[in-house]
Structure 1
Amino acid sequence: MYKNYDDYPDILNVSDIQEILDIGRKQAYELVHSKKFHVINIGKRIKVSKNVLITWIEGGNLL
């Protein structure tokens, strides 16, 4: 069930974020729209660098 960060791709989608943080879909979308870290919008897709998410999780300053 639990994975290591290394098991995830370098560029994450919202479902990866849900799994990593063990949160629901709505919470994951609220988080990526919160501007707490840099996201990439490609059409309707939302992508986040794994390094950016890990830095945010660990309390690093991003913005």
Structure 2
Amino acid sequence: MYKNYDNYPDILNVSDIQEILGIGRKQTYELVHSGKFHVINIGKRIKVSKNVLINWIEGGSQL
């Protein structure tokens, strides 16, 4: 089933990214630590702007 980005919060956590991309937990953590897009670390929590992720998915500018 296809996901609508509007159903997700503006700031995503790892489980949101995992669900959007349909990948496993380990792959998701590898992706967020890869430096391919801007990630916010708050303590042990990892947050990503929905707009940043969508831009990356659509092949937009990278860091």
TM-score normalized with structure 2 length? 0.96
Q: Distance in 2 between matches of 1:27 and 1:13?
A: 14
Deviates more, 1:2-11 or 1:35-44: 2-11
Query: C-alpha offsets along residues 4-54 of structure 1, whole Å, 9 cap, x if unaligned?
Result: 000000000000000000000000000000000000000000000000000
Equivalent residues, number: 63
Runs of 4+ in 1 over 3 A off after TM superposition: none
Q: Which amino acid aligns with 1:47?
A: K
Q: Distance in 1 between matches of 2:62 and 2:7?
A: 23
Q: Secondary structure at the match of 2:62?
A: coil
Gaps (5+ residues) in structure 1? none
Gaps (5+ residues) in structure 2? none
1:36 aligned residue:
36
TM-score normalized with structure 1 length? 0.96
2:59 aligned residue:
59
- Give the CA RMSD over aligned residues: 0.8
Q: Distance in 1 between matches of 2:30 and 2:37?
A: 12
